[in-house]
Amino acid sequence: MRAIGLTFAVLALAGCSATSDTTGTPVTTVPTASFEAPKVMAAGTSPIPPSKQAAFCQDQVANMYDAEPQNVVAHGPVVAADGSTTIDVTVDRGNGVKTFKCRLDAGNRFIDALSAVSDGLH
């Protein structure tokens, strides 16, 4: 039983990377942490078939804006010369209509959905 514990400890420590600096002092390399904000949207998804892009964008905006799906409308896609697609999505939660731009890259992968108008204070 003790041998199993020691084997586990050796394997756990084997993952550490140790090197020496120019003075011969051991230096342990620790991976740096990433401080990026977590991704909320489904950026980098698998390709979405053109027939499903409007519904996908509609769902993304409904989720993002906390709206009931029946209050979200996706409009016809606009395909740019580079092959990327933009779909306008409108949301009516009873306090006015808000417009979003849903973007997909030339490979039909979701990029993001952004508000078309700033929510700044007036």
Do residues 97 and 116 lie in contact, with contact meaning Cβ atoms separated by under 8 Å?
no
- Calpha distance 51→108 (Å, rounded): 11
User: What residue segments make up the domains of the chain, in order of their start?
Assistant: 50-115
Do residues 68 and 92 lie in contact, with contact meaning Cβ atoms separated by under 8 Å?
no
> What's the fold here for domain 50-115?
Double Stranded RNA Binding Domain (3.30.160)
- Calpha distance 8→2 (Å, rounded): 10
Per-residue tens of pLDDT for the chain, all 122 residues: 444 444 444 444 444 444 444 555 454 444 444 444 333 445 567 999 999 999 999 999 999 888 998 999 999 999 999 999 999 999 998 888 999 999 999 999 999 999 887 655 33
